[in-house]
């Protein structure tokens, strides 16, 4: 089997969020084997995909995502990475439909090399601030929202971009605040730099202290900031050490996530 490492939500290597991608010809192996491969790759997610056949199928490929610790319901950057590999290898053209735990997702390739993902919009609901959250984050929180079942994060709004960039949270303690982790966000200090808002994402409960660029988080960030700015189409900068840009388009109960990807490593999975 071929295995590839793809940097997603970036147009240059060694930036964005790296994901492992493994394509199978037939059925998936047992879950324990998939989990062991993901642990060996040791990136925030490894994607496993296999083709679906039959006229009754509403998708072209089955897609699953594993962190080093567990399988997850939704992952944006590893979906982008998988679509990039399918198009780069000629295994797919145009729009690809993926059957995943969160439903059918699509990925559409564009002439400039970017790819647009169609994901379900996160159902945001206001949440009470957990006790001690400011101390755990190391910053005052202006508002908090629950992001629904597929994501399972607490979305917290901070005062400004500087506060988001300066975060040095107690990551272990963050795990007590939500099912997966915490998304911290604030408006861009200077939108002329090419982005409207910033974020950082911490997911200790699935083995990811800080995720470099998180597509799934932007299905919550898109409705949050679209309501604030009064615009459906925005660009978010995830201000991790690697950084990455996600163009978001709110379309009611669906959110479009657009970005680029670069394959940086390709090899054989021998075990």
Give the number of other Cβ atoms within 10 Å of residue 268's Cβ. 7
Burial class (CB in 10 A: 0-12, 13-18, 19+), 179: middle
Distance (Å, rounded) from C-alpha 128 to C-alpha 109?
Answer: 40
Burial class (CB in 10 A: 0-12, 13-18, 19+), 63: buried
**35 φ/ψ angles, rounded to the nearest 5 degrees:** -65, -40
- From the list 190, 178, 171, the residue with the least C-alpha distance to 217 is 178
266 is catalytic: no
Q: Are 75 and 105 in contact (CB under 8 A)?
A: no
Q: What's the DSSP call for residue 191?
A: G
Distance (Å, rounded) from C-alpha 163 to C-alpha 143?
Answer: 14
The two structure tokens encoding residue 258: 């657009």
- From the list 51, 53, 56, 67, the residue with the least C-alpha distance to 19 is 67
Distance (Å, rounded) from C-alpha 260 to C-alpha 80?
Answer: 8
Helices of type H across 126-187: 133-137, 161-165, 171-174
Q: Are 224 and 146 in contact (CB under 8 A)?
A: no
Q: Catalytic residue, from 30, 45, 140, 266: name it.
A: 45
Instruction: Return the active site residues.
Output: 45
């Amino acid at each position: 089997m071929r295995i590839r490492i793809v940097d997603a939500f970036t147009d240059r290597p060694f930036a964005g969020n790296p994901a492992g991608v493994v394509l199978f010809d037939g059925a998936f192996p047992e879950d324990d084997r998939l989990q062991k491969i993901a642990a060996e790759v040791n990136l925030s997610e490894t994607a496993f995909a296999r083709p679906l056949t039959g006229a009754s199928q509403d998708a072209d490929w089955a897609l699953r995502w594993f962190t080093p610790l567990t399988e997850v319901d939704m992952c944006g950057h590893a979906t982008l990475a998988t679509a990039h590999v399918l198009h780069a290898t000629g295994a797919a053209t145009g729009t690809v439909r993926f059957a995943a735990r969160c439903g059918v997702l699509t990925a559409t390739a564009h002439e400039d090399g970017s790819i647009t993902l169609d994901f379900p919009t996160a159902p945001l609901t206001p949440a009470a601030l957990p006790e001690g959250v400011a101390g755990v984050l190391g910053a005052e929180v202006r508002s908090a929202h629950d992001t629904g079942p597929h994501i399972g994060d607490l979305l917290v709004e901070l005062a400004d971009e500087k506060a988001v960039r300066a975060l040095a949270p107690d990551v272990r303690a963050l795990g007590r605040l939500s099912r997966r982790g915490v998304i911290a966000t604030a408006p861009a200090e200077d939108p002329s730099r090419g982005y409207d808002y910033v974020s950082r994402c911490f997911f200790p409960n699935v083995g990811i202290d800080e995720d470099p660029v998180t597509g799934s988080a932007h299905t919550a960030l898109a409705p949050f900031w679209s309501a604030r700015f009064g615009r459906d189409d925005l660009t978010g900068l995830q201000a991790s050490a690697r950084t990455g840009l996600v163009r978001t388009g709110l379309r009611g109960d669906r959110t479009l996530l657009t970005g680029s990807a670069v394959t940086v490593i390709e090899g054989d999975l021998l075990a």
